[in-house]
Amino acid sequence: MTVPASPSSLPSSAGAAAPCRVAVAGASGRMGRMLIEAIRASDDLVLAGALDVEGSTFLGNDATAFLGHASGVTITADVQEGLSGADVLIDFTRPEGTLAHLAVCADRGVKAVIGTTGFTGVQKAEIASFAQRTAVVMAPNMSVGVNVTFKLLEMAAKALSTGYDIEIIEAHHRHKVDAPSGTALKMGEVIADALGRDLKDCAVYGREGVTGERDPSTIGFATVRGGDIVGDHTVLFAGTGERIEISHRSSSRAGYAQGSLRAARFLAAHRMGLFDMFDVLGLHG
């Protein structure tokens, strides 16, 4: 498949490296369009494929038509066709779709950035097996700011390990299908790990009726769904006489898109393996 590149996507000089060719899954969705717009605006990435589900009314359309431009990349439901010219796939869809896409990526040697959430333990193990054949960055939130927040939470949990009750409150738009959000769960995992606990054993996902006194070893979650909220997350460390709140609020999906492009660039140096945004940002340790 021939993929013409816009001037903004090409190297600035003849000696520059060839641009990374990126395919986007869920191309007609809110996140897919944000990714496509960010790729088009970048200097070192070029759109090479656009995938959508069977039955989508956008199949056959130019992937950048919504921007008023022609890219020459047609939205398709054929995964083989959509990945035929790609170096890396960015996927923010649903678990089943992502796994189907990743199987093709592994076969073709296409790398993958996965922002999809809601995977089961079995599905995560399947992703790990695919990462033995290609390079994958997988994170519940691709935002650079959110991942720095994870690091702050790790530090706070260690310093506030006794005498503080921990609650995680998250809010998203009415269309989100999983709860708590993958980001909220990751926050819980980061905190639990820092405290030497297992989130499966200490998480409380809902309270109703006469619940009794709060168990200080638990980590509570509260979920809000409504309107067009992009994503709000607050972790509350409530002590005696004080409380500390660490929050991250997204006003648009642009932060997720820019983090995803950063992950795609990171993968250029890796042939296989499973990575997260801490690897991309150098936050481990």
Q: Which residues are catalytic?
A: 172, 176
Q: How far apart are CA 43 and CA 120, in angstroms?
A: 36
Q: Would you state the structure tokens that stand for residue 93, as one six-digit string?
A: 């869809």
Q: How far apart are CA 235 and CA 164, in angstroms?
A: 12
Asked if 172 and 222 count as a contact pair (C-beta separation under 8 A), the reply is no
Q: Where are the alpha helices (DSSP H) in 109-216?
A: 121-130, 144-159, 182-194, 199-202
In the block, residue with structure tokens 């989100």: 176
Bridge partners of 167? Answer: 220, 236
Q: Would you state the structure tokens that stand for residue 52, as one six-digit string?
A: 């959508």
- With H, G, I as helix, E, B as strand and everything else as coil, classify residue 96: helix
Bridge partners of 18? Answer: none
Length of the chain: 285
Give the DSSP H/E element, type plus range, for residue 248: strand 243-250
- With H, G, I as helix, E, B as strand and everything else as coil, classify residue 210: coil
- With H, G, I as helix, E, B as strand and everything else as coil, classify residue 204: strand
